[in-house]
Amino acid sequence: MHRFATAKKELLPQASARRIFDLIKDELSLVEAEFERQASSNFQVINCLGDYLRASGGKRVRPALLILSNYASGGDGASENSIRLATVMEMLHTATLVHDDIIDNADVRRNRKSINARFGNQTAVLMGDWLYMSAFQTALRERSLEILDILTRLTRKMTEGELIQMTMIGNLGITEDDYFDILRRKTAYLFSACCEIGATLGGADQPQQTALRDYGMELGVAFQLLDDILDLTSEAEQLGKAAGTDLIEGKLTLPLIFLLKREPALKSQLESVMLDGAYTSFTRKELRERLDAHDILDEIRSRTQEFIARARKSLDVLPESEYRSCLEDTLDFVTTRNN
């Protein structure tokens, strides 16, 4: 009880990423070591690519969610199977980033050259495939049909999301429903699966598994909504990748969907950005001014808080602990992050 009280005092109300991840820093170190082991191979080129990807870093939010959910459900987040599955989720996430960068022709990821820019598209495709297969090979060691079912549904959803998004590139008629369907498939299902698998490994009962699955889904939606805002408001140095690229790549995010509802006449300016592949005739500054004139970014931040509130409510079925507290504070971290 004393340990929980101390942790709660330190973490609330606006916990930093460092404070959140300090609680499970030893477990995340085990994940890094397992990732290194899993990404190694007898083939020198795979070792080289694996080292390059791991050196790119990242906050390891997804493994952290699995470990915290496991602990919050009464499990041992430092156990071999918890670390192994947390690593699987990071490998799947990394594979998705590799393939996304190829599709988007992205040159930068986490302030370094993307793997496709550094080694070429063909090599990047194969490395992404290798990571996917390695992740599933690792997951098979659990001999759990329940976990494999979650993972196969997840990878199908993510692939469908990418395919659906590709069919809508350059489509200025995309609806809010279309947007959220793609968002959930490409981003939120992965957050949800991390929490659900963590709960499953922790021996959670069905209400707790469902609650953590829902928590992850709501958190994932909020995370991506804020990512879309950051794409419009931040610079490349803050994001760790090129800024303002969604519109250039022909992707209409929720702020732009709302903007076109308010000002349909802006359609031609947005089209010009897509066609030019740059903010020339219509600048990022002008776009931001139009968004601010209608308070659209604040409106979306308010919508984000609705998802955060539902995620927080989902945790009510869990017993109080420092890990549940940390899951709550993760919601604050997501809504206040600037990169």
- At residue 263, the pLDDT reads 97
Q: Is the pLDDT of residue 316 over 90?
A: yes
- List the single range of 35-44, 128-137, 176-185 with lowest mean pLDDT: 35-44
Examine residue 288 and state whether it is found in any structural domain, yes or no. Answer: yes
- At residue 122, the pLDDT reads 92
Examine residue 334 and state whether it is found in any structural domain, yes or no. Answer: no
Examine residue 65 and state whether it is found in any structural domain, yes or no. Answer: yes
- At residue 42, the pLDDT reads 67
How much is the CA Rg of the chain, to the nearest whole Å? 20
Q: What's the whole-number mean pLDDT along residues 231-248?
A: 76
Q: Is the pLDDT of residue 50 over 90?
A: no
Examine residue 337 and state whether it is found in any structural domain, yes or no. Answer: no
Q: Is the pLDDT of residue 118 over 90?
A: no
Does pTM top 0.75 for this prediction?
Answer: yes
Please state, for a pLDDT cut of 70, what percent of the chain lies above it.
Answer: 91
Domain around 267: 2-329
Examine residue 335 and state whether it is found in any structural domain, yes or no. Answer: no
Q: Is the pLDDT of residue 111 over 90?
A: no
Examine residue 131 and state whether it is found in any structural domain, yes or no. Answer: yes
- List the single range of 178-187, 261-270, 324-333 with lowest mean pLDDT: 324-333
Examine residue 175 and state whether it is found in any structural domain, yes or no. Answer: yes
Q: Which residues are within 8 A (CB) of 45 and not within 5 positions of it... i.e. 6 or more apart?
A: 123
CATH of the domain at 33: 1.10.600.10
- At residue 52, the pLDDT reads 79
Q: What's the whole-number mean pLDDT along residues 282-299?
A: 96
Residues 77, 27: contact at Cβ < 8 Å? yes
Q: 41 pLDDT band (50/70/90 cuts)?
A: confident
Examine residue 189 and state whether it is found in any structural domain, yes or no. Answer: yes
Q: Is the pLDDT of residue 115 over 90?
A: no
How many domains would you assign to the chain? 1
Q: Is the pLDDT of residue 62 over 70?
A: yes
